[in-house]
Amino acid sequence: MMIGIDLVYVPRIEALLNKGPFLKRFFTDEEIEYFEKRKSAEVVAGNFAVKEAFSKALGTGIRDFALKDVEVLRDQLGKPIIRLGGSLKDREFKFLQCSISHDGDYATAIVIMEEEK
């Protein structure tokens, strides 16, 4: 079992959103569509935290894949789910779950996974 956690300062994400092509660089079109509906830097920060937590759980950091390869979507009830693409699309996991939380100026995420052997 592998676990990764990340904490993101929401005002930092707000500044990046106002600065330039942050969304297009790190998020898929489907994620961006979700952000446009929610209109919240908190939501963007939560998704970014999942991507970072995923890289930590994998144990590699952000090597050999792009953050866009880790797509964070929501199921029918709003629960965050991870869909892998790009260089990660062939990786198989017995278990891959994430959770996002917000408090004030911070978003945090945890990813728990077990890779198929």
Residues noted as catalytic: 56, 102
Angle at CA 98, nearest 5°, toward 19 and 10? 25
How many helical (H) and strand (E) elements, i.e. helices and strands, does the chain have?
4, 5
Cβ atoms < 10 Å from Cβ of 4: 21
